[in-house]
Amino acid sequence: MQDDQRVWFITFNYSNLQGLKAVPLGLLLLVVVYWANSQHGPASNLTLPILVSLGAAILYWWVDRYYKTHYGRVERTSKQARTEVIIGILGGIVGLAAVYVDLTHPYPVSMVGFVFALAFVVEYRRIHRQRKVAYLLWQMVIGFVIVLGVNLLPLFGLDGWWQALGLRSHFLAVLVVTSLVMVITGLCGHVFFARQFPRSEG
C-alpha cells in the first residue's frame, strides 16, 4: 500500500518534482538582476539579458529532455494542464503587480519578496494534498523563512545590508537571494526526485 501511494504521488506530481527545471530560471533571474543593477538610467543595451534568456531556454529544454530520456514521460490530464495554466497566469499577474508596487512605492520591504515567500507555501500545499512528505515540508519551510527573513531585514534596522552584495536596492537583493534559493532547492529537489525510483535507461 505504501509503495502504491508513493508511485501515485510521483506520477501525479511528476513534472512538479523535477527540481532541475528550477535551475535555469534561478540562474536567469540572478544574471538579469545583476545586469539591471549595473544600469544607470534607461537600459540601452539588451544584448546580455536576451542572450541569457536564450541560454536559459536552451538549458530548460535540455533538462526537460534529460528527465524524459532517463526517467520516462508522464502525460498530464486535461485538468492538470488547466490548473498549471491558471496558476501560471495568476502567478504572473500577482508577480507583475508586486514588481510595479516595488518600483513605484518606496516601501522598506519588497512586495516581490512576499510573493516569492508565499509561492513556496502554495507549491507545497499543491503537492501536499496527495501525500505528506517530510522533505517537501522542510524545503517549503526553509525557502519561506530565508526569503521572508531577508525581506524583513530593513524592519529590524538593517538598512543598506544589500550594499555588501554590491547591489543598489533591497528589491534587487531580495531577487538575488530568491534566485539562489531557487537554484539550491532545485538541485536538492532533483536528488529527492532521483531517489524515488530507479532510472530507466534509453
Range of the domain at 129: 2-194
Residue 128 belongs to a domain: yes
C-alpha radius of gyration, the chain, whole number: 18
Residue 199 belongs to a domain: no
Instruction: Let me know if 172 is exposed, middle or buried by CB neighbors in 10 A (0-12, 13-18, 19+).
Output: buried
Question: Sorting pLDDT into bands at 50, 70 and 90, what band is 10?
Answer: confident
**Number of neighbouring beta carbons within 10 Å of residue 16:** 15
Range scoring the smallest mean pLDDT among 19-23, 79-83, 195-199: 195-199
Residue 201 belongs to a domain: no
Q: pLDDT tens digits, residue range 36-95?
A: 888 776 666 778 888 989 999 999 999 999 998 888 887 777 777 787 788 888 888 988
pLDDT for 81 equals 74
Residue 89 belongs to a domain: yes
Over the chain, what is the mean pLDDT?
A: 84
- pTM here is 0.83
Cβ pair 143, 102 in contact under 8 A? no
Cβ pair 197, 10 in contact under 8 A? yes
Instruction: Give the CA distances from residue 98 to residues 43, 44, 200, in Å, rounded to whole numbers and listed in that order.
Output: 21, 25, 42
Kindly state the percentage of the chain with pLDDT values over 70. Answer: 90
Cβ pair 21, 164 in contact under 8 A? no
Domain count, the chain: 1
Residue 7 belongs to a domain: yes
With a cut of 50, say whether residue 202 has pLDDT above it.
no
Q: What is the Cα–Cα distance from 112 to 118, expressed in whole angstroms?
A: 10
Higher per-residue confidence, 185 vs 42: 185
Residue 200 belongs to a domain: no
Question: Sorting pLDDT into bands at 50, 70 and 90, what band is 3?
Answer: low
What are the DSSP calls for 96-160, one per residue?
HHHHHHHHHS--SS-HHHHHHHHHHHHHHHHHHTT---HHHHHHHHHHHHHHHHHHHGGGGT-TT
pLDDT for 44 equals 67
Kindly state the percentage of the chain with pLDDT values over 90. Answer: 36
Q: What is the Cα–Cα distance from 121 to 124, expressed in whole angstroms?
A: 5
Q: 80: helix, coil or strand?
A: helix
Helices 134-152 and 111-128: angle between axes, nearest 10 degrees = 170
Range scoring the smallest mean pLDDT among 58-72, 155-169, 181-195: 155-169
Residue 41 belongs to a domain: yes
Higher per-residue confidence, 77 vs 142: 142
Please, which residues have CB within 8 angstroms of residue 169's CB and are 6 or more apart in sequence?
Answer: 162
Q: What is the Cα–Cα distance from 90 to 81, expressed in whole angstroms?
A: 14
pLDDT for 194 equals 86
